């Protein structure tokens, strides 16, 4: 005779904090010797393309900065190509890493030194607008939040982008558009609102 199957309790969810900086960016938390943090630059001397800075400001539902946030970004290079995966035995290093991780400072701000990405093919076979993928964690976030950063000076490409087009309310699309600020190195600035009236659009990948 088969024994009845007991009803199992759901495993408690785990949050990403309150030690996100210690676990993911130990050098920033003044814990050296654990491993090398990726750093804020994604560039090498051989990187080709337009140099830019990406500046993100992470803000909670009350409008306060999220000082313990960590953001990872992935993007294509200037030609619309992603860095090929490398193995331990590989002697080849990509000219552009295509990936970075940064902790927020006390004002919830973090910066990446990178290049403006080229266009890559979308699910519909058409070119997507230049964009950067973001993954965001902080205390109280059970599952990392996925979103994208688009460029405010790419209006025509943004208008036909496959992913942006899936956001039915066009007003919500603006939460993914970074504004350009001129300087010796142009900056693209995006405010990421975790909750509230200005909440950023997040994706379920």
Q: What is the largest CA-CA distance in the chain?
A: 77
| Average pLDDT over every residue of 175-197 | 96
Respond yes or no on whether the N-terminal peptide bond of residue 18 is cis (omega within 30° of 0): yes
Q: Is 112 helix (H, G, I), strand (E, B) or coil?
A: strand
Provide the pLDDT for residue 195: 93
- Rounded CA gap, 61 and 58, in Å? 10
| Average pLDDT over every residue of 104-120 | 95
Report whether pLDDT(203) > 80.
yes
| Average pLDDT over every residue of 177-200 | 96
Provide the pLDDT for residue 26: 72
In 3D space, the residue among 56, 194, 75 whose CA is nearest the CA of residue 138 turns out to be: 194
- Rounded CA gap, 54 and 109, in Å? 10
| Average pLDDT over every residue of 141-152 | 92
Provide the pLDDT for residue 33: 72
Provide the pLDDT for residue 139: 82
Sheet with 70-74, strands from edge to edge, namely 99-103, 70-74, 131-137, 145-151, 177-181, 187-193, 51-59, 109-115
Confidence of residue 56 (pLDDT cuts 50, 70, 90): very high
- Structural domains in the chain, sorted by start: 20-80+96-193 (2.60.130.10)
């Amino acid at each position: 005779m088969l024994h009845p199957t007991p009803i199992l309790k759901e495993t408690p969810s785990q949050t990403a904090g309150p030690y996100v900086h210690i676990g993911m960016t130990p050098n920033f938390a003044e814990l050296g010797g654990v491993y090398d943090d990726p750093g804020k630059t994604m560039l090498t001397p051989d990187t080709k393309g337009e140099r830019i800075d990406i500046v993100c400001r992470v803000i909670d539902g009350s409008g306060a900065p999220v000082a313990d946030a960590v953001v990872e970004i992935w993007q294509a290079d200037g030609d619309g190509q992603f860095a090929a995966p490398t193995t331990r035995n590989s002697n080849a290093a990509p000219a552009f890493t295509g990936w970075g991780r940064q902790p927020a400072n006390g004002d919830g701000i973090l910066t990446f030194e990178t290049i403006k990405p080229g266009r890559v093919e979308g699910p519909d076979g058409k070119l997507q607008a230049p964009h950067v993928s973001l993954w965001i964690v902080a205390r109280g976030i059970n599952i990392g939040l996925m979103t994208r950063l688009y460029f405010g000076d790419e209006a025509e490409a943004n208008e036909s982008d496959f992913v942006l087009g899936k956001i039915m309310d066009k007003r919500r699309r603006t939460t993914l558009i970074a504004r350009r600020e001129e300087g010796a190195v142009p900056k693209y600035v995006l405010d990421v609102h975790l909750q509230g009236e200005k909440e950023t659009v997040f994706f379920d990948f």
